[in-house]
Chain A
Amino acid sequence: MAARKPSTRTASSKAKAPTNKDFTQEQDMSAYEDMLLIRRFEEKAGQLYGMGLIGGFCHLYIGQEAVVTGMQMCIREGEDQLLTSYRDHGHMLACGMDPKGVMAELTGRKGGLSKGKGGSMHMFSREKQFFGGHGIVGAQVPIGAGLAFANKYRGNDKVSLTYFGDGASNQGQVYESFNMASLWKLPVIFIVENNQYAMGTSVSRSSAQTDFAQRGAAFSIPGVKVDGMDVREVYAAGQDAVEHCRSGKGPIILEMNTYRYRGHSMSDPAKYRSKDEVQKMRSDHDPIEQVKQRILDKGWSDEEALKAIDKNVRETVKQAADFATNDPEPDVSELYTDILV
């Protein structure tokens, strides 16, 4: 089954259609670098997995970089909350968590962000207001609504960014959360990262209604379909959504149409889609290439300068990998710590 092409943004329900604003030079340059960091980090993680340095499940975010990067540009880092599934490395890097700490968690070392106890799927940062890293499909959704509940309760104007997949969208607790969030006007942005597949199941094989932006209609939650491969579109929709929440209008849904290039996790034979389909997404819709092309077209930078940025990013990632492979494993005494206080 062919993946649906990321469609252009169309407003539904009560959501206002955001206008397509071009990025400033500064925005394009920073988006480029941020997305590149995620891409290079994930490529390295894939390599380390292949070398046996990372174990268990490892879900890469390659292809989806524009979603979290664009959303992060809309919020106040360290104040607004975010949380997602096990496909979480990109979110952590985007919200400013230390690549060394993330990579060392992937290798299960002492210096990992969860001291090596959580692994790829389970990382958190109070400082960055990143609430995980959840291994159970859909479980983060009511938790995200709960973060928003706390914001409303305290009377601040913080927003909870609650990311989940197209597959997760079929879990009952998602709709229980929608109802409560709408009933209580909670400031939560439900971000469906529709990468067209849940493991080996395409959206059309799992969902009777594949328009995820409309999934809140029964709860009067507005929804917007967004081209999640274009960071500008993500940013524009994100700005409107954040404003919607901050101004007390309650929850909103953003359906980000995106695509994962790699397998579901490292052990995915990927027989459910064609190589052509993947290739076509990469060549026609790559989020990083789009920005790069714009930067070059506008003359904001040249190939050489962009290479230098790439080199810097690679160096950051290399340092993270070096740290993650040389850092010792956690002390055995850690087995019994952090269970209760």
Chain B
Amino acid sequence: MTIEILMPALSPTMEEGTLAKWLVKEGDEVQPGDVIAEIETDKATMEVEAVDEGAIGKIIIAEGSENVKVNTVIAILAGEGEDVSSTGISPLPTETFESETPGTASLPAEPIMVEVASDPDIPEGTEMVSTTVRDALRDAMAEEMRRDDDVFVMGEEVAEYQGAYKVTQGLLDEFSSRRVIDTPITEHGFAGLGVGAAFAGLKPIVEFMTFNFAMQAVDHIINSAAKTRYMSGGQMGCPIVFRGPNGAASRVAAQHSQCYAVWYSHIPGLKVVMPYTAADAKGLLKAAIRDPNPVIFLENEVIYGKSFDVPKLDDFVLPIGKARIHKAGVDVTIVSFGIGMKYAIEASEILTNVGIDAEVIDLRTIRPMDLDTVISSVQKTGRLVTVEEGFPQSSVGSYIASEVSKRAFDYLDAPVITLCGKDVPMPYAANLEKLALVTTDEVVEAVKTVTYMK
């Protein structure tokens, strides 16, 4: 058996080098670890050691050769009793390696989309129960915890205090301190610990008191939770939910008021859910807990106390990755999610009175994003306004706008308007805070603009 000795890469950036000197000649016996040659790179002269045992059969690249490409065969090592000079191996051409692998350029640059099932049908006559978002979230966790002992909740003040925003109220009583766990204030630590527990097969629900504090933990969310499945070639899953209130509350100023939807939506390996209604909150949180992937579940303090109808079903689970048409319409498409829906809905009601029939879409999931629903709506209405509380640059809306211009350009009758929070840190003063947020009036105005009513 003959072994090819290749020109080694001696640094991560090295592409070629000079074969300065051979320290062996054809016929010499070498042991692993013996220095066989010296190679000069632009940075240093390095020694090359033999990896295998055998006799040097043939030296292919002569001493003093410059610009020898990495991975070029420089010599042939013969196994015991072999004569390489007669094997007919000829020197390989030096420039065998093209810089670009064919096919790479044709891979899509877009996020990978997955097939998602539709919402389950709610049987005729199902009782609807008016429930706050807060209780819907708690019910979702309680139901999943009853169903699966691997599910547990962890976070600051989630147990004895019953939750800083009372979302985990009652869970400690029912599930005990084994499964409802108060943590010290150590987000980076407990997020990482949650990831480890998830690697080991548990299904942690990690509550951040608010998502502002998840910035302490963002390394584990992204580097540990999101990437490990890929880095392990699919072996290692991370079934974890990171949840908590996101976005502006009221008068808590810059460090406590921002929307992270678009931040996390950037990351392959995460799912990002941001519900508005209590039914969606419940059905999607149950789905998130069952999901084998890390899910960022963005809630909002301002809507915790808002009530919506929730179907009274034993097991109400909604699909992650599916938008919901909140109101059908023909004149304009308004796309929003989370608390942005409040402004979108209010605006659509005002617009009805001036004769504009808006279609309002609640994305519900930011990643994977249900663009098909958005595109088919725009194909019908020809006009699009997006609404969110996050900052304008690289917003969720700007991503939607770029996709729509790619896939439905010919259908557009007006430029897309992407409404966002203002491009400023959240101010504390009451008057400035109002101005910094997106408003219902702005949605109404934007719709009038894209429908050329003004």
Instruction: Tell me the A residues contacting B by CB distance below 8 Å.
Output: 55-57, 105, 108-109, 112, 114, 116-122, 134-138, 167-168, 170-172, 198-201, 205-207, 271-272, 329-330, 332, 334-336, 339
Contact = CB atoms under 8 A, between A and B. Distances in A.
Interface in B181-236: 182, 184-189, 212-213, 215-216
Contacts of B424: 335-336, 339
Nearest to A132: B255
Contacts of A335: 422, 424, 427, 432, 435-436
Interface string B153-165: 0001100110010
Contact of B432 (A167, A206, A330): A330
B157 A330 contact: no
B429 A109 contact: yes
Contact of B161 (A167, A199, A329): A199
Contacts of A119: 251-253, 428-429
B255 to A, nearest CB: 4
Interface in B421-440: 422, 424-425, 427-432, 435-436
A167 B424 CA distance: 30
Interface residues of B, number: 35
B250 interface: yes
Interface in B121-166: 156-157, 160-161, 164
A199 B429 contact: no
Given A172-B188, A336-B424, A136 B157 contact: no
Contact of A55 (B160, B185, B430): B430
A330 B213 contact: no
B161 A201 contact: yes
Chain A interface main SS type: loop
Interface in B406-430: 422, 424-425, 427-430
Contacts of A116: 427-429, 432
A137 B255 CA distance: 11
A56 B429 contact: no
Given A108-B430, A122-B428, A339-B424, A56 B185 contact: no
A117 B160 contact: no
Nearest to A165: B185
A189 B320 CA distance: 50
A134 B253 CA distance: 11
Given A118-B428, A122-B253, A199 B213 contact: no
A335 B437 CA distance: 11
B256 interface: yes
B164 A199 contact: yes
Contacts of B427: 116-117, 330, 334-335
B429 A121 contact: no
A200 B425 contact: no
Contacts of B160: 200-201, 205, 272
A117 B185 contact: no
A200 B164 CA distance: 9
